[in-house]
Amino acid sequence: MASLSWWNQELPSSKLVRRLACRSLDSVIMKDCQLLETVGCALLKSRRLLRYLIPKILHLLQKVVAACAMPVMKGWNILTNSEKSKKAREGVMEFLLANHPLDCPICDQGGECDLQDQSMMFGSDRSRFLEGKRAVEDKNIGPLVKTIMTRCIQCTRCIRFASEIAGVDDLGTTGRGNDMQVGTYIEKMFMSELSGNIIDICPVGALTSKPYAFTARPWETRKTESIDVMDAVGSNIVVSTRTGEVMRILPRMHEDINEEWISDKTRFAYDGLKRQRLTEPMVRNEKGLLTYTSWEDALSRVAGMLQSFQGKDVAAIAGGLVDAEALVALKDLLNRVDSDTLCTEEVFPTAGAGTDLRSNYLLNTTIAGVEEADVVLLVGTNPRFEAPLFNARIRKSWLHNDLKVALIGSQVDLTYRYDHLGDSPKILQDIALGSHPFSQVLKEAKKPMVVLGSSALQRNDGAAIFAAVSSIAQRIRMSSGAAGDWKVMNILHRIASQVAALDLGYKPGVEAIRKNPPKVLFLLGADGGCITRQDLPKDCFIIYQGHHGDVGAPIADVILPGAAYTEKSATYVNTEGRAQQTKVAVTPPGLAREDWKIIRALSEIAGITLPYDTLDQVRNRLEEVSPNLVRYDDVEGANYFQQASELSKLVNQQLLADPLVPPQLTIKDFYMTDSISRASQTMARCVKAVTEGAQAVEEPSIC
């Protein structure tokens, strides 16, 4: 009997183990070893669970079978390296290579190609094919995915991904036998926010990255595990770099967040990191023009203003891409000049419990928790474009678990069927009172979820919307069959910095600055356009610190160049409250520096030195202010839902009749939402392709 020490090891997926736990385990003899096996599970899948590599074709009794399609049966004797199975694998490989162009030296898939690996391991050392090879016309499916369809082996993985995961039936096959082709039938763009994932799942070089084409080989690049900040999901990624430049971004497996997928904005907006960057400090001269200067001069000017003004005359706004270390450093700096006017760009209602209770502003059910829910009510959000990977989870649960989904807001394509209850926020009142037909559905649900989009809270009646949703969540939590630890109330954020900022005590929204305009305003990566020069006094001194010359930089008197997320080790907290770290993949361009270091240097010149010099000391300070910010990859649950619901009753605001319309209605609104993606030429091509057609951005192909 083989050793079962693997049983005590951490398995790749806890969900896979739970699914297999309900099946019977039996002994199967494989390769002269008797191993514990799952009866009824596909052989290839079950062997992977046991971390035992086997070929896809093997010898079973008198027959050769495909391991990926054959379920395990009790008492089998399986041979993986018999002469018959080896010969069968070699024959299959010959068929796969029969029409393959064998252009590995110029193929972008070279070095990480499944067909290469299989051919080297199981194929023959020479070809016996003497006939003419088939040639297939390349398809233009947009500016992101490059197609060389002569290489296609017709595995149909891309088609299955499009229809099952992305929920877009754009890809399919036409023709039969030797004439079969994979494509879109009519020339059109592959209209999905997850389209880039077909590059990863394609086993050959038929589908490759168009922006990455002919730029690097995988063995030339250095891989750095990091976190995406393009939305509030916090997808795990791998940043591939060469000679100090980001070459591409790939997904990294995390079962509780993004599984193995990433959105197109995460994958392809990296070219925005190279364009429109702030590389040197700048100051506005007597003529009103921004000119380059030294760090000493720029910091001295800012320090002089901080020494001249204190209290309510100093304020700060934090943008959507700011890390927790910079947020706490800026908080400490302003506190030292007796100011607590620290604001975020995004609004969140402060009436009632507001942001005092952490459960009020988190996705409490968690991203993976959607798979356990049986009813989801979406309010004022379009998760497909605000949080694509969260939407993919909802679709997965809808497809496999019979999840029932309802939406209050604009009727949009979410890639799955849902009940559209209307777009008026007053429907929330009817559901809260129990007079709406959907109230009964929520009442009968065992594990209901209510997901409120943060975009709905930007409205003038945001507090009333939040109070109504909180009342609904508490009502169905008490009346439904939901277990005591099941969390119903959820907020779906759109930007990466919001949860960390609220954890650190920042005020949501800039209303406090509009009411009491400051003399000195510090914009930390604030490029959302939440405040303009017209909102401030003419003599207001504006400092902009960030990595792109976007919306905030042109109105500033001093510009301090910061580092982007690929250039620093930083902490971000996603919409479910999970703290994660980015890692340094490349160095910042020019004289740019990490944000917390700039603030630390500024404090010293201003004579109010902050008490930390290293990153570890900054994180110790983070732990003092909010301990959950340094509990990495852990979700700390919050349970004060009843108290929040009681306090929400104190909100004195009426719901407006205006319809709930999320800002990201169509895929055109998805591509350019922050300073990095707005600087990306690839994202600009995507917008053009969506509005004018894929042929509008077609480029001549070298190969």
363-412 per-position pLDDT tens digit: 999 999 999 999 999 999 999 999 999 999 999 999 999 999 999 999 99
Query: How far, CA to CA in Å, does 70 sit from each of 39, 83, 97, 222?
Result: 11, 20, 24, 39
| CA count, 13 A, side-chain hemisphere, 265 | 29
User: At residue 357, what is the residue type?
Assistant: L
Tokens 């320090």 belong to 303
Look at residues 399, 281, 382 and name the one whose alpha carbon lies nearest to residue 666. Answer: 382
Predicted confidence at residue 23, as pLDDT, reads 40
**Contact predicate 468/425, CB 8 Å:** yes
* Backbone dihedral angles phi then psi of residue 272, each to the nearest 5 degrees: -70, -20
Domains of the chain: 5-81 (3.10.20), 104-273 (3.30.70.20), 282-346+501-570+589-630 (3.40.50.740), 364-492 (3.40.228.10)
> What is the reported pLDDT for 59?
57
Provide the residue type at 195 as one letter: S
What was the pLDDT predicted at 81?
77
Q: What's the rounded Cα separation, in Å, for the pair 458 and 466?
A: 11
- Can you say how many angstroms the Cα of residue 556 is from the centroid of all Cα atoms in its chain? 31
Contact 193, 384 (CB under 8 A): yes
User: Does residue 572 sit in helix, strand or coil?
Assistant: strand
Dump strand ranges (E) for 346-447. 375-379, 404-408, 419-422
Instruction: Quote the pLDDT of residue 656.
Output: 85
Q: Quick one: pLDDT at residue 22?
A: 36
Give the span between the Cα atoms of 578 and 629, in whole angstroms: 8
Residue 238 pairs in a beta bridge with: 225, 250
Q: How far apart are CA 410 and CA 383, in angstroms?
A: 12
Cα distances (Å, whole numbers) of residue 587 to 179, 234, 343, 583, 594: 50, 22, 29, 11, 10
Phi, psi of 645, rounded to the nearest 5 degrees: -65, -40
* CA 444 – CA 425 distance, rounded (Å): 23
Cβ neighbours, 10 Å, residue 263: 29
Q: Residue 645's CB: how many other CB atoms inside 10 A?
A: 21
Q: Is-contact 239 247, C-beta < 8 A?
A: no
Dihedral angle, C-alpha 60, 62, 66, 67, nearest 10 °: 0
Find the DSSP H helices in 415-542: 427-433, 437-444, 462-479, 498-503, 511-515
Specify the pLDDT at position 608.
Answer: 94
Q: Is 147 in a helix, a strand, or coil?
A: strand
How confident is the model at residue 670, as a pLDDT? Answer: 95
Cβ(236)–Cβ(225) under 8 Å? yes
Q: How far is CA 320 from the centre of its chain?
A: 14
Q: In whole angstroms, give the CA distance from residue 69 to residue 60.
A: 13
Structure tokens belonging to residue 265: 């904005």
Rounded (10°) CA dihedral 432, 437, 442, 446 = 150
**What are the phi and psi torsion angles at 34 (to 5°)?**
-95, 115
Please tell me the predicted confidence (pLDDT) of residue 657: 85
Instruction: Tell me the pTM.
Output: 0.90
Q: What is the largest CA-CA distance in the chain?
A: 89
Residue from 325, 324, 321 nearest 617 by CA: 325
Task: Give the residue ranges of the chain where pLDDT is below 70.
Answer: 1-62, 75, 352-353, 480-484, 641, 648, 699-703
What is the per-residue pLDDT for 481?
64
